[in-house]
Structure 1
Amino acid sequence: MFLFLKPRSERPPVDQIILRLQKSLGSIPGIAAVLTPSPVLQISVGATSQTQGQYAYTISGIVPDDVYSMADQLMEKLRQFKGFASVRSDYYHDTPNLKIDINRDRAATYGVSTSAIQSLLRNAYSQNYVYLIKEPDDQYQVILEVKDKERAHPDDLDDLYVRSSTSGNFSASGSGGGTIATTTGNMSSLVPMRVVTSTKEVIGPQAVNHLNQFTSVTFNFNLLPDVAIGDATKFIEDAFAQIHPQHPTVQGIFQGETLVFQQLFRSLPLLLLAAIFVMYVILGILYESYVHPFTVLFPAIVPAVVGGLATLYLFHSVLSLYSVIGLFLLLGIVKKNGIMVVDFALQRIDEGWDLRSAIHEASMERFRPIMMTTLAALMGAIPIALGFGQDAASRRPLGLVIVGGLIFSQLITLFVTPVIYLWLEWFQEHVLDKVPFLRSAHTHHEGEPARGEMRPEPAGVH
C-alpha cells in the first residue's frame, strides 16, 4: 500500500508522520505494519530489501536453535537503543506448523523415494511455477497447486498420493487388512501420503529463512531523525559481541543500505587517495611540474573537506551516502580556483614576470572568474541545502556539504594559494632543480631572465 502525502508546507515531516501512524497501527491486534518512506536510491544487498526497513542486520548459523535463541536475546538488546524509530525481525516463533516426518523404511517398502515426497509437497502447496504460456499479445504463468479449500486443514494431507517407482510384483496391506497399493512389472502405483508419513501440529517459526544456505534471522530497523547510522551500527555490533560467546556458531552481518554504507566508508580513504593521485598526475602533466599540483590541490581540497564536514555538524546533519557524494563533487569543483590562479601565473612567468608580480597579477585578474564560477555552483546547491522538493531530507546533506565547502574553501584559497605558490617555487628552485630529472619547465632563477624576458641593455646603448 502506498500513501501519497500532501506538500511539505501542509504537513509535518515524514518521520513524524511515520511515528504517529506506527503507534496507531501497533495497537491493532494481529497487524504488523511497516511504514517506510520511498527511498530515492533503491538498494537491496544480500537477503533483504528496504520494504521492511531502511537498514537491516542478519544473523545466521548452522544450528537453527542457536540462531533463534540468539535472535530473541538480540531483539531484547536492540529495544534498549533509543535511536530506533522501529525495529522488527522476520522471526515469528509462535506460528502453528504442521511437522511431517517421513517413515523411510515404509517408503522404501512401497518404492517411494524421499525426493518424490518432497516434490509432491512442493507442487501441492508452494505455488510452483511449472510452465509459461506465450500468446501473441501476452504471456501467462502456469502455477501448479491444489485448490484452496483442499489445503485449509491438516487432514487434507491424507488426500494426496505419491507415485512409487518400484518394478516387480508386490502387494502391500494396511493395518485393517485391505490392500493399499499393488505393483506389477514396471507399472508404478499411487501410495497415500498417510502411509509413508506421519504428521504433528507444533508451534514454530512462520518461515525458515536462509542466508548462504544457513538458517538466518534478519532484523529490520529505521532511525529517528538526527540519529547517525554509525551510532546504530556500533550499538548493534556491541550487543552482538556480548551475546556471541553463548552461541559461537552464529555470525552476524549488515545488509541493505547499512552494508553499502560500511563498505563505502571502509574504502573511502582509498578512494579519496586515488582521486587525489589522479588529479595530481593530470595537473603535473599539465604544468610540467612536481610541486604545482600541490599548489592547486592543498589550498582547495583541505579547506573544502573541513568546511563541508563542519557544515554538517553545525546543521545537525549526518554523514550519509548523499553527503559522501557531495564530498566527491566538492573535490572537483573547488580545485578550479587554484587552476585558474596557477595557470595564469605560469603564463606571466613565461612572459618574463618575476614570481611575486606574477602570482599577484594572477590573483587579481582571476578573482572575478573565480567568484563567478563559485557563485554559479552555490546557486545550484543552495536549493538542495534548503530542502526544496520531494524527499528533500535525504538530499539535504549533499547540498550542505557543497555549500559549506565552497564558502570555506573560497575564503581560504584566495589568501593561501599565493603563499603556497611562492613557497613551493622557492622549494623547486633551491632543492628540486638541483636534480635534472625533477627540474621544472617554468622555473625562473634569480639573476637570470625568464623565458621570453629580454636582458637589460648596457648603459649608453640606444
Structure 2
Amino acid sequence: GFEFYLQNRGDGGVAKLKQSMQAMMGAAQQSPILAGVQTLWRSDSPQLTVEIDREQARAMDIPINNAFNALAGTMGTYYLNDFNKFGRTWQVLMSAEPEFRMSPKDISRIYVKSNGGEMVPISAFAEINYSSGPDSLDRYNNLSAVKLLGSAAPGYSSGQAIAEIERIAKEVLPTDMSYEWTGTAYQEKRSSGSTAIALGMAVIMVFLILAALYERWSLPLSVLLALPFGIFGALVSVWIAGMTSDVYFQIGLVTLLGLASKNAILIVEYALMKKQEGWTTGAAALEAARLRFRPIIMTSLAFILGVVPLALSSGAGAGARHSVGTGVMGGMIAATFLAIFFVPLFFYWLTERKISEQRKQQTIKDEIAQHHEHELNAK
C-alpha cells in the first residue's frame, strides 16, 4: 500500500483540510487503479470541552495551571517522570481510577486548590459543553496535515497507484494544498530508477569479467546477447500470472542475469576452445551446442524445479515468494530453450566478423609493405 499526507499551506484550517480530503478521496475511489483509499482522521468527532473562565478563576485566587494540571491528572495525560525496566525507558502518566473518569459528570467533581489552600470544584469557574471537531490534527513538514492510506487495485503496480494519486492531486487540490509521500511510497519514489541502474551495473560487471576471461572485447557480447531472452521470459511469465514488477521481481531479475550468462558461457567457452584447436568457426559453434546441450538442460531443469515451490507457495509472505519464483522460473525457461539455439549463432557472427576485420587489416598492412618495397626497389 501507500501513505501520503495532505498539507494545508494556506488559510482555512480544519474546514479546508476536510474539503480537500473529501475531494481527494472521492476522486480516488472512482479510479479503477486504486483500492481502499481511506483515512483514520475524523473531522466531526464528538468532544467534551471544558472552558475555564479565567477572570472568575483569578477572582477566586485559583492559578490557571492548577486547573489544567488537575484535569490532566484526572484524565490520564499528566506526565510525571520516566523509569527504566527491561532495557527500555517508560513514561509515568498519572490518572484517576477508571470509575472516577467514566462520565462527563465526573469532571464537575474535580477540585482545584487555590492559593489560600481552599479546594474549589472546577464547575465553579468552568463550563462543560458538548461539541464536535477533529479527533487529532497532525503536522507534517510543520504544516497542518491529514494522513491518507490506500493500495493499488488488483492487476496494477504500486508505481501506477502512486502516479494515479499524483494525477488526481493535480486535478482536485487547490493551489494552497499539497501532498507529501511517506512510508514505503516515499522510499519507492526516492529509489525510482535505481532498478535500471542495478541491472545496468550487473550487465557491465558480467561484461568486464568475461572480457578479462577471454582477453578480448568482442567475444563477451555473444554471452550478453543471450540476456534479453531471460528478461523477456521473466516479463511474460509475470504478465501471464497477472502480477506486477515489484521489488522482489526485480531482485530475481538481477539473479537471472547471472544464471542466463552461465548457460551462454558453457557454449562460448567450449566453442572458443575448439576454435583454438583449429576448427572452423561454424563447426566449433555447432559442436559446442551439441555437447553442452545436455548439461545445460539438466542444470536448468534442476533450478527451474527448485523454484516451483516458490511460485506455488502459500501463507505469510507468499506474495514476495510468488514474485521471485514466477519471474525467475519464466526467465530461466526462456534463457534455456531459446538462448541455447541463438548463442552459437552469436558466437559465429561475432567471431567471423572479428576474423574479417583482421583479414582486412592484414591486407592493408601487406599493401602498405608492398608499396614501401616497390619504392625501395625504385630507389
TM-score by shorter chain over 0.5:
yes
Per the alignment, residue 210 of structure 1 pairs with 139
Say whether 1:337 aligns with 2:267: no
Which amino acid in structure 2 is aligned with residue 80 of structure 1? Q
Say whether 1:81 aligns with 2:81: no
Say whether 1:57 aligns with 2:8: no
Q: Deviations over 1:49-102 (max 9, x none)?
A: xxxxx4333222345433332112112112223455533202111212355778
Distance 1:360 1:138, change over 3 A: closer
CA distance in 1, matches of 2:358, 2:108: 87
Which amino acid in structure 1 is aligned with residue 40 of structure 2? D
SS in 2 for 1:79: helix
Confirm or deny: 8 A CA contact 2:36 2:151 kept in the other structure: yes
CA distance in 2, matches of 1:349, 1:242: 64
Which amino acid in structure 2 is aligned with residue 92 of structure 1? R
SS in 2 for 1:207: coil
Per the alignment, residue 144 of structure 1 pairs with 93
CA distance in 2, matches of 1:106, 1:306: 79
| C-alpha deviation, 1:295, in angstroms | 1.4
Distance 1:150 1:351, change over 3 A: same
Confirm or deny: 8 A CA contact 1:381 1:403 kept in the other structure: yes
Per the alignment, residue 206 of structure 2 pairs with 279
Say whether 1:131 aligns with 2:60: no
CA distance in 1, matches of 2:69, 2:359: 80
Confirm or deny: 8 A CA contact 1:129 1:141 kept in the other structure: no
Per the alignment, residue 377 of structure 1 pairs with 303
Per the alignment, residue 254 of structure 2 pairs with 328
Match of 1:403 among 307, 329, 341: 329
Gaps of 5+ in 1: 1-53, 163-179, 184-188, 436-444, 447-462
Q: Deviations over 1:321-348 (max 9, x none)?
A: 3322222222221110111122222333
| C-alpha deviation, 1:274, in angstroms | 1.8
Distance 1:120 1:290, change over 3 A: farther
Confirm or deny: 8 A CA contact 1:312 1:397 kept in the other structure: yes
Instruction: Give the TM-score taking structure 1 as reference length.
Output: 0.64
Match of 1:316 among 229, 232, 242: 242
Match of 1:367 among 263, 272, 293: 293
Distance 1:349 1:433, change over 3 A: same
Which amino acid in structure 2 is aligned with residue 130 of structure 1? N
Instruction: Give the TM-score taking structure 2 as reference length.
Output: 0.76
Match of 1:220 among 130, 138, 149: 149
Say whether 1:237 aligns with 2:188: no
Q: RMSD of the alignment, in Å?
A: 4.1
* Deviates most, 217-226 or 146-155: 146-155
CA distance in 1, matches of 2:344, 2:22: 63
Distance 1:138 1:278, change over 3 A: closer
SS in 2 for 1:181: coil
CA distance in 2, matches of 1:427, 1:103: 95
Which amino acid in structure 2 is aligned with residue 398 of structure 1? V
* Deviates most, 80-89 or 330-339: 80-89
| C-alpha deviation, 1:402, in angstroms | 1.4
SS in 1 for 2:346: helix
Per the alignment, residue 115 of structure 2 pairs with 181
| C-alpha deviation, 1:200, in angstroms | 5.8
Which amino acid in structure 2 is aligned with residue 215 of structure 1? S
| C-alpha deviation, 1:406, in angstroms | 1.2
Q: Deviations over 1:128-150 (max 9, x none)?
A: 4722254xx89884522221445
Gaps of 5+ in 2: 364-379
Per the alignment, residue 156 of structure 1 pairs with 107
Say whether 1:297 aligns with 2:237: no
SS in 2 for 1:366: helix
| C-alpha deviation, 1:309, in angstroms | 0.8
CA distance in 2, matches of 1:429, 1:138: 72
CA distance in 1, matches of 2:178, 2:358: 54
Q: Deviations over 1:205-238 (max 9, x none)?
A: 1122232332222222245543443443333222
Taking only the aligned residue pairs, the percentage that are identical comes to 24
Say whether 1:346 aligns with 2:272: yes
Which amino acid in structure 1 is aligned with residue 282 of structure 2? R
Q: Which has the higher contact order (CA 8 A, sep 6+)?
A: 2
| C-alpha deviation, 1:194, in angstroms | 8.4
| C-alpha deviation, 1:378, in angstroms | 0.3
Per the alignment, residue 178 of structure 2 pairs with 251
